[in-house]
Structure 1
Amino acid sequence: MSQGDERGYGGNEPGSHPDDAYSTLGGTRQTRTRMHRSGDDDGYGRRPARTSRSLVMVVGVVVLLIAAIAFANQGGGDTSGDSAEKKPNTAGAGPTAATGTKPVQGKNGTIAAGFAHDEQGAQSAAANYAVALVSAEILQPERRSEIVRQIFVAERVDELDARFDQAYDKAFLDKVGLDDEGRAAPGMTYVSRTAPVGTKTTSYSDTSATVEVWCTGVFGTAGVSSTNPVSNDWFTMTLALQWANDDWKVDSFSQKDGPAPVNTDRTASNADEITKAVEEFGGFTYAR
């Protein structure tokens, strides 16, 4: 139903008359005319015809006065214009951070970089670095060296390069079904995907921070003949960070099991489903 179908919305169909409270005789559009008679000598002579024009003018003036008063009071005493200028900025806060601080400024290779120099930035850095440290790429010697240089402070790089090489030696790679380059056999897919569940800062200063990252993940080799099937795990990684070269970098880290929830009785997916999921679902840049 359009607005013109109801009374009071000004629908003027052909042959109809609008309801006008100020029209003649209740809207019947009839008029009375007082004719001057030649014998009228009562001293008053002919009375002028009364119209609604003067009443409409009075009402119009009143409306204008009310509008002017309302407009004068609308500013609430603030005539500086600052409120109008600040409104666009107020709505610009980032959806991932209540503080409005942009969590991640850029990337260093495939790893997030340029974290804010505050506690929020330290937690964001720790979450992203935990993912990199337990990724499938960390088992590939060439890629591992790049990761170490991207996330650790410069003075620890050479030491940690050697320690990682020792930890992920040939015996370890054989155990998980990978070759010397950290790659799975043809027809097999090695899976190591970590998802941070939450972060907690245990100490913080402008130059250093210690952050715990509670994680879950899937690890193993997907394939019909795999002796290391993909399974899930829960663990907490503790990262000691330093502010260096305008970013948070890792000085040291450790890992412990749990906290882990009760396992469900959900049926495990087969190797093909796991492989397809790893290939089709990309990872995230994590930020608090």
Structure 2
Amino acid sequence: MSLSDGGGYGGEPGGPDTGGQTRTRLPDGGGDTYGSGRRPRTGFSSRNLITVVGVVVLLIAAIAFANRGGDGQGTSDGTAKDAEAQSTAPTGTKPVEGKNGGIATGFAKTEQGAQSAAANYAVALVSADILKPTERHAIVQKVFVPAKVGEMQGKLDQAYSTDFLAKLGLDAKGNAAQGMTYISRTVPVGTKVASFKGDTAQLEVWCTGLFGTAGASSTTPVTSDWFTMHLELRWADGDWKVQSFAQKEGPAPVNGDNKTSGADQIAKAVNQYGGFTYAR
């Protein structure tokens, strides 16, 4: 699932975009919502396709609601960076010394530090916790500049209302029904500096991720997506913080011919395999 607080980055703010329907095979047996037997992509049921598209539309609508009146890309008088001028190799520099509630903090006031901050904030802003009121408020407090905290908390609370969560099959606290696991995990693939000057930085984070509900009776099986997040960061209180953010679809590669795992396997994997602190 992907988010945006700024209106119209690339004209397309949104959640787990229309690139979400990416799986090509269904598992052998298992008897869960992912189906049985191995079938080519053309066998992906229209019912599942329509359901996934429906969830995507809901998420995009909620984010668009939160975007009203925002400025997705912000402004910057920094120097634009040519993509060819930046190395794709990691710097090898340790990003931070500590974390605040699981979110990395204390990034260096450098381009490398800003890129590391953007990657880690992308993970937090597109997590399952962003749908849970208590956890969402904590994330907003930790990653946004102080002047934006109240505004963003209000916008996201309105966007992820009880009615909206119910449409995703979640209760008022953002939890899935008993025996089900709602999943939204983001993996940054790379970062790029669009501009950097003084106390401000504009960055892009190319991401892949997975979202949906894992469970035997799920009508929204976990699928994957590719998206790019644009974040405007500002130096505040001795660290990089988010001033605004937005999202656009892709770039997405050709789908692999992987055999789809069962719902139980996906839920266990998400619970058993921890995330990372990302560094540029």
- TM, length-normalised to structure 1: 0.65
- C-alpha distance in structure 2 between counterparts of 1:116 and 1:180, whole Å: 38
Partner of 1:97: 91
Gaps of 5+ in 2: 1-88
User: Within 2, Cα distance between the matches of 1:103 and 1:190?
Assistant: 30
Match of 2:137 among 145, 149, 154: 145
Report Cα offsets for 1:32-69 as digits up to 9, x if no partner. xxxxxxxxxxxxxxxxxxxxxxxxxxxxxxxxxxxxxx
C-alpha distance in structure 2 between counterparts of 1:226 and 1:175, whole Å? 13
State the one-letter code of the partner of 1:238: H
Question: For 1:225-240, what aligned pairs fall within 5 Å after superposition?
Answer: 225-240=217-232
- Note if 1:214 corresponds to 2:214: no
**2:231 is equivalent to residue 244 of structure 1:** no
Structure 1: 5+ residue stretches without partners: 1-94
Instruction: Give % identity.
Output: 64
TM-score (norm 2): 0.67
Structure 2 matches for 1:35-114, cutoff 5 A?
A: 97-98=91-92, 101-114=93-106
In structure 1, the partner of 2:162 is: 170
The residue that corresponds to 1:282 in the other structure is 274
Q: Is the 8 A contact 2:94 2:279 kept in 1?
A: no
Structure 1 counterpart of 2:204, one-letter code: E
The structure 1 residue matched to 2:184, chosen from 177, 180, 192, is: 192
CA offset at residue 265 of structure 1?
Answer: 2.3
- Give the total of aligned pairs: 192
Measure, in 2, the Cα distance between the counterparts of 1:200 and 1:248. Answer: 16
In 2, Cα distance between equivalents of 1:96 and 1:212: 16
Give the distance between the partners of 2:251 and 2:136, measured in 1 at CA.
28
* Superposed displacement of residue 96, structure 1: 5.9
Aligned to 2:153: 161
Deviation at 1:228, TM superposition (A): 1.0
Distance in 2, matches of 1:232 and 1:266, equals 12
- Residue 267 of structure 1 and its aligned partner are, at CA, apart by 1.7
The amino acid that maps onto 1:120 is: Q
For 1:58-106, what per-residue CA distance to the aligned partner results, in whole angstroms no more than 9, with x for missing partners?
xxxxxxxxxxxxxxxxxxxxxxxxxxxxxxxxxxxxx9634xx432121
Query: One-letter code of the match for 1:177?
Result: G
Matching residue of 1:269: 261
Shift of 1:172: 2.1
Query: How much has 1:171 moved relative to structure 2?
Result: 2.6
Secondary structure (helix, strand or coil) at the match of 1:146 reads helix
Asked if 2 retains the 8 angstrom alpha-carbon contact of 1:102 and 1:116, the reply is: no
Which ranges of 4 or more aligned residues in structure 1 deviate by more than 6 Å?
Answer: none
